[in-house]
Structure 1
Amino acid sequence: MIKVKQIAHVCIFAHDLDKTRAFYEDVLGLDTQFNFLRDGRIFGFYLNCGGRSHVEVFQKDGTSYSDTNQITHFCLEVENLDEAIAHIKSKGIDITNKKYACDDTYQAWIRDPNGVRIELFEYTDKSAQFTGRDRVADW
């Protein structure tokens, strides 16, 4: 039997590696764990999301994302969603308003420079992820 511990990484493609790195480092505060090199050039990198979770990014020219041809989204847990929203707005990035979701978590949404949807998530003591009770979706 296999026991999954956590998500190891989510991989995305980027049209502009430098712009994508700046977004994840400057806006979301993630640090580069390491770079991927080929022929002496950086063509990708790993971003540290805490613990042993990462976002893996590779240069891929011509990449386009829409609601029908991408991972739906990935989610990053944050310590304080209000502070995260204020910080992201200060960087000139559009972000949704904070919402209290049906699973008793707080969430807000942004997109990276490639159009990848990112959910920012703050748990509560009542979060279904901890209590395990079924929830009726309100969306």
Structure 2
Amino acid sequence: MMRAGEILEACVYADDLDAAERFYTGVLGMEVITRVEGRHVFFRCGGRVFLVFNPERTREGGGPIPAHGADGAGHVCFAMRADQVDAWRAHLLAAGVEIESDYAWPNGGHSLYFRDPAGNSLELGTPAIWRMPEAETFGA
């Protein structure tokens, strides 16, 4: 049986790519890989890629990549180490980011929920929320 590998990239949509770039680089520490003015900005996120598209521009299609887009808020969870929960909480608050939920899961995992400038629901979660060992997520 064929099985898909790990997620290579994930995306959200934002009308204001400048605000998205400032947020994802300044608050979450991601590195910009590439940017096409008014269409998208792509970031390095650990060993993966995080994409932010302008939904109006990606609905146009016409190239080798099928048209796509979304209305409303998306959701993505970024991994954090269990020993970094307090530091991430303090960092987000210092950056003026409102934490919508700070949740300790019954299984021992922890999640911090907040929004990007476009209103997408973002989460920093420890691998334990899905009963995954940190070594599997971050390496030994």
TM-score exceeds 0.5: yes
The one-letter code matched in structure 2 to 1:109 is Y
Name which of 128, 133, 136 aligns with 2:131: 128
Give, in whole Å, the separation in 2 of the partners of 1:6 and 1:104: 24
Q: Shift in Å at residue 64 of structure 1?
A: 4.9
Residue 134 (structure 1) aligns with: none
The one-letter code matched in structure 2 to 1:55 is F
Q: Shift in Å at residue 74 of structure 1?
A: 1.1
Q: Shift in Å at residue 46 of structure 1?
A: 1.2
Matched, 1:45 2:41: yes
CA change 1:99–1:4 in 2 (3 A) is: same
Residue 59 (structure 1) aligns with: 54
**Maintained 8 Å contact 1:104/1:123:** no
**Maintained 8 Å contact 1:27/1:91:** yes
Aligned residues: 118
SS of the residue corresponding to residue 104 of structure 1 reads coil
Residue 136 (structure 1) aligns with: none
**Maintained 8 Å contact 1:82/1:98:** no
Normalising by structure 2, we get a TM-score of 0.72
**Maintained 8 Å contact 1:104/1:127:** no
User: Stretches of 4+ moved more than 4 A in 1?
Assistant: none
Q: Shift in Å at residue 81 of structure 1?
A: 1.7
Residue 78 (structure 1) aligns with: 80
**Maintained 8 Å contact 2:101/2:114:** no
| RMSD between aligned residues | 2.3
**Maintained 8 Å contact 2:9/2:50:** yes
Name which of 106, 112, 115 aligns with 1:111: 115
Q: Which runs of 5+ in 2 are unaligned?
A: 57-69, 134-140
Q: Shift in Å at residue 100 of structure 1?
A: 1.4
Q: Deviations over 1:13-64 (max 9, x none)?
A: 11111001111111111111222x3xxx45212111111x221111235x75
Give, in whole Å, the separation in 2 of the partners of 1:64 and 1:83: 33
Q: Shift in Å at residue 2 of structure 1?
A: 2.3
**Maintained 8 Å contact 1:64/1:114:** no
Residue 30 (structure 2) aligns with: 30
